């Protein structure tokens, strides 16, 4: 069954603890944490102290998606804060192999994220290390963007490339009831959704619509 990872980017930042509790009660499988530094992407969100503050309130896995420059400086703080998965962008480092191994040295899962225009062939060299491959189906930085349709073909190609590996395919951006079906049919295992999950405050209904 596909896993649903609501993105806190669309949550009410004034009551993040309550939002996390509500998402767990609504049946979310994990919490997606969009970490933005205002440099790799224009937007700025929150850092490791916020993740650490939220950690005691849920047993759901924390999926920290680092949209940052110099991600090597962020690995230990987010591992210490309680992240279960740390995902770094292939475009943000020249030492992707070493960075993934560093993440795994903390006993947590390592993910690789690819922007829409990034060739998936970079995965050939880290497929045996990565636990998650995150394919961006919008350009990173802001929620509410429309789904890039070419992503479904990319998912299928990556699925074929990862045959024999244990990595799960995660898709992030423009996910709704219609695009969710396309992604899962192409091979996605995890769907990240912000706007769709939080719409109207009907978290359980919205999560089930994606399944």
Question: Residue ranges per domain, the chain?
Answer: 3-210
Residues involved in catalysis: 34, 172
Q: 59-73, 75-89, 132-146, 154-168 — which is least confidently predicted? A: 132-146
CATH of domain 3-210: 3.20.20.70
Q: What is the mean pLDDT of the chain?
A: 96
Is the predicted pLDDT of residue 87 greater than 90, yes or no? yes
Mean pLDDT (whole number) for 89-94: 96
Task: Give pLDDT, residue 27.
Answer: 97
Cα–Cα distance for residue pair 146/62, rounded to 1 Å: 25
Predicted pLDDT of residue 1: 86
**pLDDT category, 160, cuts 50, 70, 90?**
very high
What is the pLDDT averaged over residues 13-26? Answer: 97
CA distance 94 to 71: 11
Cβ contacts of 153 within 8 Å, gap of 6 or more: 186
Q: Is the pLDDT of residue 115 over 80?
A: yes
What would the mean pLDDT of 75-92 be, rounded to a whole number?
98
Q: What is the mean predicted confidence (pLDDT) over 103-116? A: 98
């Amino acid at each position: 069954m596909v896993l649903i990872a609501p993105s806190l980017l669309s949550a009410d930042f004034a009551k993040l603890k309550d939002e996390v509790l509500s998402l767990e009660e609504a049946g979310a499988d994990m919490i997606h944490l969009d970490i933005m530094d205002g440099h790799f992407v224009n937007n700025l969100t929150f850092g490791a102290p916020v993740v650490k503050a939220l950690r005691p309130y849920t047993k759901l896995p924390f999926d920290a998606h680092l949209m940052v420059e110099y991600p090597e400086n962020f690995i230990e703080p987010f591992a210490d804060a309680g992240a279960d998965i740390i995902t770094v962008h292939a475009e943000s480092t020249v030492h992707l192999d070493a960075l993934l191994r560093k993440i795994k040295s903390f006993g947590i899962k390592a993910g690789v994220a690819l922007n829409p225009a990034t060739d998936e062939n970079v995965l050939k060299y880290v497929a045996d290390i990565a636990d998650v491959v995150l394919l961006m189906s919008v350009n990173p930085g802001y929620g509410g963007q429309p789904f890039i349709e070419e992503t479904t073909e990319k998912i299928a190609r990556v699925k074929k490339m990862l045959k024999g590996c244990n990595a799960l395919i995660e898709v992030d951006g423009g996910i709704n009831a219609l695009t969710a079906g396309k992604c899962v049919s192409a091979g996605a295992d995890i769907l990240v959704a912000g706007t769709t999950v939080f719409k109207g405050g009907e978290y359980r209904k919205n999560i089930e619509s994606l399944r």
